Amino acid sequence: MSYNVYTHAQRTDLDDQIGEVLEASWSAFMLHDEVANQYYPQLDEWFGAFQYVLTDDNDRVMAVGNAIPFYWDGTAEDLPKGWDDVFLRGIEGYRQEQQPNTLSALSISIHPKYRGLGLSRQMVTAMKEIAKQNGLEYMVAPVRPSIKYKYPLTPMDRYIQWNTAEGAPFDPWVRTHWKLGAKIVQVAEESMFIRGSLAEWESWTGMKFPESGTYIIPDALTPVQIDVEKNEAVYIEPNIWMQHFL
């Protein structure tokens, strides 16, 4: 199978398919990050050259990549706090007409029917090429480990120390980045914030929350905090900052 890579700036006609891929690729609660809800439209409007798709020979969108350029001084100390923070830094940098030097991944979404074909590797490679083509110096990613949801009670700083018998990272998605030359820089403990009412979380998860407490939610990397009196549930997701070398 051959693939084609297009940026959003090149193929705005694929927006409907892109929406279908995003909706099919993520658990419902993951589509309600506060920063994304507010600023996602600006990705296409302001950063269209960094949003891209991978299509098959029939022009069907198989995978979607989202990224945002920002300025980074190259040190671990200057990395954003996580996914939300790098999104905000990219938005603010654009508003202030700051010259970016770094591309941060935001997401790579592969339609479930096309998984298992090695597209994740193709998508990371395409993102690196886009960073190079736009003259950026660095590329980083707040990586969401693909099977961390199976170990929600294990702290992320311990999880990233797990390796295979061959010495590679235990997590498949982290391992994909690693095989493409990326290194783990640090854990972003508070990378994403997703808040909602109990009714919203019940609709997103199909679960009931009879009392306040800590709940393990399918596909969540850490437990969700439920407060019945406040009618609020809060999910704080940790990610892993990884750096690719261009």
- Give tens-digit pLDDT for 157-197: 999 999 999 999 999 999 999 999 999 999 999 999 999 99
Q: What per-residue confidence (pLDDT) applies to 2?
A: 81
DSSP 223: P
Mean pLDDT over 110-126 rounds to: 94
Question: pLDDT class for 151, splitting at 50, 70, 90?
Answer: very high
Q: What per-residue confidence (pLDDT) applies to 50?
A: 98
Q: How many Å apart are CA 216 and CA 125, to the nearest integer?
A: 34
Q: What per-residue confidence (pLDDT) applies to 158?
A: 98
Tell me if 155 sits within 8 A of 120, measured CB to CB. no
Percent of the chain with pLDDT over 90: 98
Q: What per-residue confidence (pLDDT) applies to 130?
A: 97
| The pLDDT of residue 216 is above 80 | yes
| The pLDDT of residue 1 is above 80 | no
Mean pLDDT over 212-223 rounds to: 98
Residue, of 150 and 41, whose pLDDT is higher: 150
Q: What per-residue confidence (pLDDT) applies to 65?
A: 98
Give the count of beta carbons closer than 10 Å to the beta carbon of residue 76.
9
Sign of the Cα pseudo-torsion (58, 64, 245, 173, in order): negative
Average pLDDT over the chain, rounded to an integer: 96
User: Is residue 172 helix, strand or coil?
Assistant: helix
Mean pLDDT over 91-104 rounds to: 98
Q: What per-residue confidence (pLDDT) applies to 218?
A: 96
Strand partners, 140: 104, 243
pTM of the predicted model over 0.75? yes
pLDDT digits (tens, 9 = 90+) for 6-30: 999 999 999 999 999 999 999 999 9
Per-position DSSP letters for 23-34, written without gaps between them: HHHS-GGGGG-H
Q: What per-residue confidence (pLDDT) applies to 210?
A: 97
Q: How many Å apart are CA 205 and CA 202, to the nearest integer?
A: 5
The amino acid that residue 21 corresponds to is V
Q: What per-residue confidence (pLDDT) applies to 228?
A: 98
Q: What per-residue confidence (pLDDT) applies to 225?
A: 98
Mean pLDDT over 208-230 rounds to: 98
